[in-house]
Amino acid sequence: MQIGPKYKICKRLGASVFEKCQTQKFQLAEARAPRKMGGRRGGSDFGAQLLEKQKARFTYGLSEKQFARYVHEAMDAHGSAAVGLLSRLESRLDNVIYRAGFVKTRRAARQMVSHGHVLVNGRRLNIPSYQVKEGEVVSIRPESRGSALFVNRADVMAETATPTWMTFEDQGFAIKIGAKPTVEETQAPFNAATIIQFYSR
């Protein structure tokens, strides 16, 4: 997905949707210019809804078409559409790799999956959008574990605040999905319910 300058996007959205914006330097710059946060579209209901949608899209690195598909699937399913949307976003294979702390960004996680370094239930899978299900095991290929990415894996694993719906296995090189992602642990920088309102117009 092609995007513009990340700092400018974070400033416009009023949220640190990229890891590059989650630095002390960026936070200090924003503290000195708080009136710029949120952009010019935040004054109306439509503008506020659009802003939340863009925050979510950029957080997970999705195109408009991809994101809209997740929203409509959540709206068509039973239960809360907002909860369903967050569950679908968090269950993406690339996001699971990111949440497990194998890499530091979702973009890097997407590349790792695309390059064939990830297994799901022992089978190599190179589709970043794959929806990981309860009971499935996501692991790093044994041939890929010698990479510099995984030096001191035990230390990284200990420092990673993984959500309770996943547990480490195989010395930290695998994770088992024990439940669906929960809203409480997602800590999303956007309001999923507002996004549903945007698509319900």
**Per-residue model confidence as pLDDT tens digits over 56-113:** 999 999 999 999 999 999 999 999 999 999 999 999 999 999 999 999 999 999 999 9
Query: Is position 85 within any domain?
Result: no
Stretch among 37-46, 123-132, 163-172 having the lowest mean pLDDT = 37-46
Mean pLDDT of the chain: 86
pLDDT score of 159: 86
69 and 49 in one domain? Answer: yes
When mean pLDDT is compared across 115-119, 135-139, 184-188, the lowest value belongs to: 184-188
DSSP classification of residue 127 = -
Residue 141 and residue 70 in one domain:
no
Per-residue pLDDT at 99:
94
Is the Cβ–Cβ distance between 197 and 154 less than 8 Å?
A: no
Phi first, then psi, for residue 122 (nearest 5°) are 80, 0
Q: DSSP label at 52?
A: H
Report the domain count for the chain: 2
Residue 1: inside a domain, yes or no?
A: no
Return d(Cα 94, Cα 164) in angstroms, integer. 18
* Averaged pLDDT for residues 130-139: 98
pLDDT of residue 35: 47
Provide the sign of the torsion angle of the four alpha carbons 13, 15, 17, 22, taken in this order: positive
Which H or E element spans position 72?
A: helix 64-76
Taking the C-alpha atoms of residue 98 and residue 8, their distance in angstroms, rounded to an integer, is 24
pLDDT at site 95: 96
User: Could you tell me the pLDDT band of residue 187, with boundaries at 50, 70 and 90?
Assistant: confident
CA–CA gap between residue 42 and residue 125 (Å, rounded): 40
| Between 117 and 2, the higher pLDDT residue | 117
pLDDT, residue 4, reads 53
What digits encode the pLDDT tens for the residues 19-51? Answer: 656 555 655 565 566 544 444 444 578 999 999
CA angle in degrees (0–180, nearest 5) for 108-154-118:
40
Residue 71: count other Cβ atoms within 10 Å of its Cβ: 23
Say if residue 160 is in the same domain as residue 191: no
Give the CATH number, domain containing residue 60.
Answer: 1.10.1050.10
Q: Are 167 and 102 in a shared domain?
A: yes
- Shared domain check, 158 and 115: yes
Structural domain boundaries enclosing 191: 6-79+187-199
Report the pLDDT averaged over residues 176-183.
91
If asked whether residues 110 and 71 sit together in one domain, one would say no
Give the closest residue to 53 by CA, choosing from 35, 40, 71, 36. 71
